[in-house]
Structure formats: structure tokens, C-alpha cells
Amino acid sequence: MRKTSLRFVGLGAVLGVTLGLTLGIASGACAPLIGADFGRDERSAATDGGERGDDAPVSDDPSSGEDGTDGTDSGDEAIVEPQPVACTVDTCPLETVLDHLYGPVTIASSGHHLYFVEVGDGIPQAGTFGWFSRVPTDKSCTQRSCFDVIDPYVASGQLQGQYIYDTHLALGPNNVCFTQSFNASPAHKIRCYDLVGFDRTTLDESAGQVVDLWVGSSTARWALVNPGGTVQGAPLSGTGAAPVASGRTGLTSVTSDGTTTYFTEKGAGANAGVVGAVLTDGGVRPLATGRDTPAASTLYGGYVYWAEVPARKILRAKVDGTGAVEQIANTDETPFELAVDATGVYWASVGPGASGLKGSVSHAGLAPNGPVDLMMKDLPLVYDVAVDSTHVYAATVGASIQDGKIVRIPKTL
């Protein structure tokens, strides 16, 4: 899963969470079906709601007057516009965008298209491979023939007992990338595709397990563990990866504004977690210390936001390191992925119990300690959450390998 971010399977490694679920296996053996609708240039819209795609955060603190004007006094009474009301499980219907998917574990939305990766073994017409695909967001898709398959050779088996670790997807303004890690002694591969012709570039292929991935307009960042802990970076041209910060302990997420890179790490003991900014010399400026398994970092409006998994909290700190850590909200059990934009903070939680069948997606405003809106509930094995300008999306694996879904709900009434 935050981006997206510390995703669901990764929680097992960090927290010892056990699913206790046996996934079924289907089969299929036909030539991959490759979609042809790759002509549209959607680079101007290609972010996933501020979660991973923006090179520069947009401030939520206007520099104009407090009444939304230019700060001058016109002598007239200010007109207060009604604020949008967030959708909840009780006020807005949940729509199934895609059904009968085989292990959809990571998603991103550009507004025009929904991107997703399936890691199940048994996709019809895929042989034994998984798929990286996209579909338009303006229609529901009940047949696989409407998929544009970007890469038909994704390693399958992540959910079926194979040495395949978390799969991560990140969407930038010009490119979409995904990474998989595999083997008992982990190695990884990062593949990127431009959003015009979908030409592929292999960004990195080396040792270590990737636990998070961020993509900007010209560069990418990822967090590597096992062995060690390193934040890596590379230009999207694929001209070579290099360490950005080394010697970290228990990395859980990475994000960036295109200039400065930020990360979260578990640390070496209880309440030893760090939220940090990487300096130009490779050093680190701590933004928050003594944290309880911080994860799923993302930037917005001069703040870095993150989830604290055991403590069930969403928090933020200023990117310049000034001021105190602020709590945005309490969460359901095991929050693991979040997205932030001008409409607020959205996060996914595994939910109570070991089965993972009571997952949820919730929302809170940007101001600390505001009300929490429950937007989705009873999600069976939720693995990721994404937002665009109008909707909130969740990917669920379901009780068997062919029961995956992507669902969505409008952001507001």
C-alpha cells in the first residue's frame, strides 16, 4: 500500500501483523492483451491528488487577507461561502470501479485514468504474470478487454506465499513508475513509463527491498531496506541511481518536493522513530523524534504528514523543523497509507482483528484535531488508497485471489 508508503504486506515485517487468510488460485494461459489507447497526453493532470506526484507542495495558508480578499478593507461585509461537506458511508454511495481483479495491491489516479498493479497468479490471458494497467476514470469497467495493459510481465505471487515483497506504484507529472522486490536475499527492479507513448525505462535493478517510492517531474526517490537502510535517488532518464541518505534504521517511507527528500523510519527500539529531512550533504535534519513507527509520509502546504501505526494517529510537522508536532486525527487500527490535498487528509486502515476484512478509509480536514469522516468501511483486505480532484479510491484484495476490487466514493456531497 501511501502511496502509497508502508503498504499492507509490509506491515507484517514491521509490526508482525498476520493475515491468517488463504488465497485461492485461478489459472489462464493466453497471449497478454495489450491496450492501444496510449495516445493521450495527460501529463498536466498526472498527479495522484498531491500524494506522490507534486514536485512543489501547494500552500494551504493563503498569503491574502483572512477573508479571502487581497487583504484590503473594502468597507463591505465579507461574503462567507459555504464549505463543502465530506462524503461519509451514510451520505454517499460506494461505487465499484473494477471487479474480479487478481490481487490489486497498489493504485494511483491522474484524474483521467486509474493506474493499478495486480500481483495474482491466474489472470486470464496473462499466463503466470501479473499486470500493470490503467482504465479511464469516467466509466466503470466490468470486462478486462477495456484495460490498457501497460506492462504484462509483472511478477506474481506476492499474496500467494512467493518471495515477492511489496509492490509500489507512484505517479508523477510526466511518468508513472512501479517497483517490485523479490527473492530470499532481496533484490528489486524499478520500471518507469512516460505518460505520452509509455516508453519504458528501467530506473534501477539492484540489491535490497524497496519499501516506498516517490516520483516527481524529473527524479525519483525510494527507500531501501534489507540489507541496511538507504534512501536512493535517480533521474527519470535512468542514467544511474545513487544514495541520498545512508545508515538509516527501519525505513518505512520516503517523499520529496523535488528539492528536499523526507523520510520516516522505525528506529532501533521502542519510540525511536524519526521523521527527517535529508540535507544536501547527505546529513539529516530531524523534524520529529521519539515517534512510534512513523510511516506513509507525504507533503502538503509546508508540512510533512505521516501515520503512527501502533498509536493509531495521523500527525504533521513543519518541513522547516519549527514548531511542535501536531495531531490531525485518531484512526482505526493499523493506519498504513495516506494522501493529502487541499480538501484534507485521507487514510486507509487495516481495521480490527487478524483477518483484515474490516478495513476502512477516513478523512479529516487539514486543521489539527478536527472531526473525522468515515468514508468507507468493511473493506476486505484494503491495500491502498488514492485521491484525485473528485474521488477517493481504495484497492481491496478480497477473500480469494480473484475477488479484488477497486472502489471509490465522491469526496464531497
Which pLDDT value is given to residue 311? 95
* 352 or 140, which is more confident: 352
pLDDT at 16 over 50: no
What 8-state DSSP symbol labels residue 348? E
For the ranges 55-64, 119-128, 307-316, the lowest mean pLDDT is seen at 55-64
For the ranges 61-75, 86-100, 252-266, 280-294, the lowest mean pLDDT is seen at 61-75
Most confident of 10-14, 70-74, 80-84, 87-91: 87-91
Buried b (16+ CB within 10 A) or exposed e, 51-89: bbbbbebeebeeeeeeeeeeeeeeeeeeeeeeeeebbbb
| 15 within 8 A of 334, measured Cβ to Cβ | yes
What does the alpha-carbon distance between residue 113 and residue 402 come to, in Å, rounded to a whole number?
A: 22
CA dihedral 27, 31, 36, 41 (to 10 degrees): 70
Strand ranges, E, within 37-195: 95-101, 104-109, 113-118, 130-136, 148-154, 164-171, 175-182, 187-194
Buried b (16+ CB within 10 A) or exposed e, 349-372: bbbeeebbbbbbbbbbbbeeeeeb
What does the alpha-carbon distance between residue 263 and residue 248 come to, in Å, rounded to a whole number?
A: 10
pLDDT in tens, 143-192: 888 899 999 999 999 999 898 999 999 999 999 999 999 999 999 999 99
For 253, residues 6+ apart whose C-beta sits below 8 A from its C-beta are 2, 5, 6, 211, 212, 223, 263, 264, 294, 295, 296, 297, 306
Residue % of the chain over a pLDDT of 90: 74
pLDDT in tens, 278-332: 998 889 999 999 999 999 999 999 999 999 999 999 999 999 999 999 999 999 9
Query: How far from 44 is each of 54, 79, 108, 202, 259, CA to CA, in Å?
Result: 11, 33, 15, 23, 20
The chain-wide mean pLDDT, for the chain, equals 85
pLDDT at 63 over 50: no
Which pLDDT value is given to residue 77? 56
Q: Which three cell numbers stand for residue 64?
A: 491574502
**Helical (H) or strand (E) element with 203:** strand 200-207
Which pLDDT value is given to residue 142? 74
Q: What mean pLDDT do residues 192-211 have?
A: 97
| 411 within 8 A of 392, measured Cβ to Cβ | yes
For the ranges 46-50, 194-198, 404-408, the lowest mean pLDDT is seen at 46-50
State the number of CA atoms in the 13 A half-sphere of 294 facing the CB. 31
Q: What mean pLDDT do residues 384-390 have?
A: 98
Q: Is 292 helix (H, G, I), strand (E, B) or coil?
A: coil
Query: How far from 295 is each of 145, 234, 375, CA to CA, in Å?
Result: 37, 22, 21
* 175 or 125, which is more confident: 175
Which pLDDT value is given to residue 319? 98
Number of residues in the chain = 413
* 40 or 368, which is more confident: 368
Which pLDDT value is given to residue 80? 62
pLDDT at 34 over 80: no
What does the alpha-carbon distance between residue 360 and residue 357 come to, in Å, rounded to a whole number?
A: 9
Which pLDDT value is given to residue 317? 98
Q: What mean pLDDT do residues 248-256 have?
A: 97
Which pLDDT value is given to residue 104? 98
Q: Is 301 helix (H, G, I), strand (E, B) or coil?
A: coil
If you compute the radius of gyration of the chain from its CA atoms, what whole number of angstroms results?
A: 20
pLDDT at 57 over 90: no
| 347 within 8 A of 337, measured Cβ to Cβ | yes
What does the alpha-carbon distance between residue 48 and residue 1 come to, in Å, rounded to a whole number?
A: 14
Q: Which three cell numbers stand for residue 393?
A: 479510491
Which pLDDT value is given to residue 42? 57
Helix then strand then coil, in percent of the chain rounded to 5, is 5, 45, 50
Query: How far from 29 is each of 32, 127, 198, CA to CA, in Å?
Result: 9, 4, 25
What's the pLDDT band for 65 if we cut at 50, 70, 90? very low
Which pLDDT value is given to residue 185? 93
| 273 within 8 A of 263, measured Cβ to Cβ | no
pLDDT at 26 over 50: no
Residue 381: closest CA among 353, 344, 411, 340: 353
pLDDT at 62 over 70: no
Give the dihedral sign, CA 197/198/199/203: positive
Residue % of the chain over a pLDDT of 70: 80
**Burial (CB count <10 Å: 0-12, 13-18, 19+), residue 186:** middle
Q: Is the peptide bond before 4 cis (omega within 30 degrees of 0)?
A: yes
* 3 or 369, which is more confident: 369
Which pLDDT value is given to residue 15? 35
What does the alpha-carbon distance between residue 121 and residue 342 come to, in Å, rounded to a whole number?
A: 38
